[in-house]
Structure 1
Amino acid sequence: MSPGPAADHRRAERAAARLVARSTSATLAGLPTTPPSPHWRPGERALRLLTVATVAAVAALATGHPWLLALAAGPAVLLVLAGTGNDRPSRLDAENTVTPRRCLEGEPITVRITVRHDGRIGRLDPTAALGPGVTLTAVTVGTNEVDLVLRAERWGRWTLGSVDIEVYDAGGLTRRTVRTDLGTMDVFPEPSAARLTPIPVRLPERIGEHTTAHEGTGVEVVGVRPYVPGERQRRIHWPSTTRRDAVQINQFAAERAADAVVLLDTLADFRDAATGRSSLDETLRAATGLTRAYLRRHDRVGLVAVGGKLRWLTAGSGERQSYRMVESVLEVRQDRGHRGLLAPRLPVAALPRHALVYAFTPLADQRILDVLGRVRDLGNPLVVVEIPAGEPAVEPGDEIDAVALRLWHAEREAMRSALRARGIPVARHTPGEALDLALAPLLRRRIGGGAR
């Protein structure tokens, strides 16, 4: 009698639960390195039949009852038929399709694994060993396919891991393991909400969307002036012309594009004890939001990442530039073995003249002050966006920890004071809030730089 669809559904749920549990333990233990055996071997059902046959045969010999041999004959015949069966596939492998290969934090990733064979197979029993950047959320086991739904936890370039599938024959007596490698994928940070784009005092001579104080061919009227022969009559301001009894022309402000450079402080990564937030994660999320805001206004944006390997990208515009910038820093977590004691020298080509530099930093490493000093010496206008993450936890009543926390706050306040003393504005961005709240005070006046 067939067990029915309800039993099949319960069996699939139990298989999914086992896969989630085994994938978690495999992830903690590390990704597998030993390849699975390419040969058929006894399954759990065959081992149970062998146990029954062996116990019955031993009992027959020990007690002298021949009828016990009949009890052992049934399992023995099934085992012999399983060993001589010719319906098992001789060719067995698996291929996978991962969709998408690039996504944002928190988005689902769908993996379909198809088992290819040239014979008859029974059930499939998968085991996943996933990488550290994803978690398993759902499993569906079919006749020839296994569907996994993963969730991208943190930004970075991650190895997804591998999946071992136990393929049983049609009788469920023998099994064979096939492994498929899921490859790598890029998880982009979830950008912070940002729309404001402060601009420096000087802008390059390139048409854009930022209004300047100079007369030009923009759309914002900043005043009127007397008519000069040869100018367009459509620019005549008739109310002023009537009052002054002389032809007056609308005076428009010039509109220019801006150059911005995002400087990322990856010298250290601190995790906040209270919220669990990572300073490196929040740094890249805020920088990504600001980058998109400038690119939406057709400005050029460049990138410099200091800490370990020096990574930089020349300023560019367009949607592709946003992806290039994120892809260039996805591997900064792997740079910890390259961290040095001295702050790196910044390439001049990475900092265009008069480009506004945004330095995203937790202000936790003194070396960042040297880097910011070099940017200021080049004459670029500079804004420091502080990411207040990594505050140590203090046990209630522990005076030593309380003193250490006060020293921790005092050190950061000293770094802020040193920056403000050099005329560098410091905007404090609270993770989880819109970046516009931190940048809004910068709109009161344009940001100035030095001479180059």
Structure 2
Amino acid sequence: MARGGPAWRDGGLHDAAVVAGVVLLIAGLLFGRADVALLGVPALLATVLGRTRPPGERLTLAEEAAVGEAAGVIESTVQVRGGELVHARASAAGHRPTEFVARTAGEGGRSFRLRLASVRTGPQETAVVDVRAYEGVWEHDPLAVGGARRLVLPSSMRLGGVPVPRSLRGVTGPRVSRRFGDGNELRDVHPFQPGDRLRRIDWRATARRSPDLATLYVRRTFADAEAAVMLVVDSRDDVGPDVRTWRGYSEQRVDEATSLDLARHAAASVARALVEHGDRVGLIDMARESRPVPPATGRRHLRRVLHGLALAHPVGQPSARVRPPQVPGDTLVYLFSTVLDDAAAQLVRTWRSLGHQVVVVDTLPDVRPVTEPHLAIAWRIVRMERQMRLDRLAREGVPIVSWAGSGRLRSAASLEALARVAARKRDWR
């Protein structure tokens, strides 16, 4: 939105120019130096012309968001109109301020592109730009633009493969199912039966097995299908590497990813791997009571999932759910959680009792050492309780993958290994 400033005012250059011109004239007359006296004439003439010529249009600022949102980047364009020179200063939390001077004389003004790299995702504040304009001896009061909240989409990393459910759905897709139907995977060569399609006749096999064409043979294949996966993000809490910020009394650093940032990144990576393979993926936000994103595929749907991940944030105090989110019966569930309470473990057990396969992605960041004695004791108790939950889930056969910054590459390798194991179990031949 454009902002109009107040009227122009004398910036103090008039008095300085008059004093400089008078001093040069007097010095030239006293010392008999005509060249020195002539140096004061331009200053006096510029002062007179500047005072007689009124300033132009008021200074206006306008900020426009970038057309395409990039993952992990906040971009915007600032349009400046008014004045001959502007002195701008761009600042953002956690970043060094940047100052520059530019010429803006012209009918269209001048535009500046701002690009702010962000480790954090979700709703974030943009940079604030303070601008002061100058025109002759006139100076404009500083104006500010920016500081609005923008939605930063999560970035993703390329995964070689991710686990998918054993039971597939649909009559088409990139994977081979256990059902007979149209596909590319050969099952066997069988005598022609009522219901078989004529285009499935294998004439070579028929000529080899029945030269007199008494029996026709057809090629039977396995039907193609697709996998369906639900991404469940436990956004009830958002904690960072500093335990002192968990109480909510101090601000989290903008250059450190929180647990929700890790969850968004992990979920975006899994969603990207599934969509690129042609499978279906859905999204459930546990902190919001909105409808879940149903499983679908395609680039547009991936964009929708990324937008839903960016909107995930804590709402009120963390509370236990009365019933788990409803997911289709033939889907695999990815739960992205810090497992700081029993609610996440209870959800996993409920889903498994209903026959769902569940993969838990631990999104707690690497916690820095705690120096305060009382906080150190509290963190030790919370850490031990959390580890007991994870160990209990692991003994029950639940795959657990840690997505902390120190072991993210190992986490990707663990998902690929789980995908290979799941593929071997699904290969019934």
Structure 1 length-normalised TM: 0.69
1:103: which partner in 2?
Answer: 70
Q: 1:111 to 1:429 in 2, by over 3 A?
A: same
Q: Is the 8 A contact 1:96 1:114 kept in 2?
A: no
**Paired residues for 1:35-114 under 5 Å:** 38-43=6-11, 45-46=13-14, 48=16, 82=50, 84-105=51-72, 107=73, 109=75, 111-114=77-80
Structure 1 counterpart of 2:178, from 199, 205, 213? 213
1:357: which partner in 2?
Answer: 333
Q: Distance in 1 between matches of 2:323 and 2:16?
A: 68
Cα deviation code 1:66-89 (max 9, x no counterpart): xxxxxx99989976765x533311
1:369: which partner in 2?
Answer: 345
Q: Is the 8 A contact 1:356 1:381 kept in 2?
A: yes
Structure 1 counterpart of 2:269, from 261, 264, 289? 289
Cα deviation code 1:85-122 (max 9, x no counterpart): 333114442334443451111x473524231x4xxx33
Q: Distance in 1 between matches of 2:205 and 2:171?
A: 33
1:418: which partner in 2?
Answer: 392
Structure 2 residue 88 is the aligned partner of structure 1 residue 126? yes
**Paired residues for 1:177-192 under 5 Å:** 177-181=142-146, 183-192=148-157
Q: Distance in 2 between matches of 1:285 and 1:208?
A: 26
1:167: which partner in 2?
Answer: 133
* SS in structure 1 of the partner of residue 133 of structure 2: strand
Q: Is the 8 A contact 1:164 1:179 kept in 2?
A: yes
Q: Is the 8 A contact 2:59 2:80 kept in 1?
A: no
* SS in structure 1 of the partner of residue 393 of structure 2: helix
Cα deviation code 1:19-43 (max 9, x no counterpart): xxxxxxxxxxxxxxxx986122232
Q: 1:294 to 1:225 in 2, by over 3 A?
A: same
* SS in structure 2 of the partner of residue 353 of structure 1: coil
Q: Distance in 2 between matches of 1:259 and 1:425?
A: 18
Matched to 1:267, the amino acid is R
Q: 1:139 to 1:261 in 2, by over 3 A?
A: farther
Q: Distance in 1 between matches of 2:223 and 2:335?
A: 28
Structure 2 residue 418 is the aligned partner of structure 1 residue 441? yes
Q: Distance in 1 between matches of 2:268 and 2:142?
A: 43
Matched to 1:45, the amino acid is L
2:115: which partner in 1?
Answer: 150
Matched to 1:198, the amino acid is P
Matched to 1:250, the amino acid is R
Q: Is the 8 A contact 1:294 1:300 kept in 2?
A: yes
Structure 2 residue 213 is the aligned partner of structure 1 residue 251? no
Q: 1:206 to 1:251 in 2, by over 3 A?
A: closer
2:369: which partner in 1?
Answer: 393
Q: Is the 8 A contact 2:87 2:99 kept in 1?
A: no
Q: Is the 8 A contact 2:228 2:330 kept in 1?
A: yes
Stretches of structure 2 that go unaligned for 5 or more consecutive residues are 24-39, 244-254
Cα deviation code 1:262-302 (max 9, x no counterpart): 01122333334699543221211111011122222333221
Matched to 1:319, the amino acid is R
Cα deviation code 1:359-387 (max 9, x no counterpart): 12232333222333343344432221223
Q: 1:375 to 1:162 in 2, by over 3 A?
A: same
Q: 1:164 to 1:375 in 2, by over 3 A?
A: same
Q: Is the 8 A contact 1:135 1:151 kept in 2?
A: no
2:317: which partner in 1?
Answer: 339
Cα deviation code 1:1-24 (max 9, x no counterpart): xxxxxxxxxxxxxxxxxxxxxxxx
Matched residue count: 385
Structure 2 length-normalised TM: 0.73
Q: Distance in 2 between matches of 1:399 and 1:134?
A: 32
Structure 2 residue 294 is the aligned partner of structure 1 residue 314? yes
* SS in structure 1 of the partner of residue 70 of structure 2: strand
Structure 2 residue 226 is the aligned partner of structure 1 residue 263? no
Q: 1:210 to 1:48 in 2, by over 3 A?
A: same
Q: Is the 8 A contact 1:126 1:165 kept in 2?
A: yes
Cα deviation code 1:327-371 (max 9, x no counterpart): 2232434x35x12332364443xx223221111223233322233
Give the aligned CA root-mean-square deviation in angstroms.
Answer: 4.3
Report deviation, 1:212. Answer: 1.5
Stretches of structure 1 that go unaligned for 5 or more consecutive residues are 1-34, 56-71
Q: Is the 8 A contact 2:264 2:310 kept in 1?
A: no
Q: Is the 8 A contact 2:6 2:58 kept in 1?
A: no
Q: Distance in 2 between matches of 1:302 and 1:417?
A: 28
Q: 1:292 to 1:447 in 2, by over 3 A?
A: same
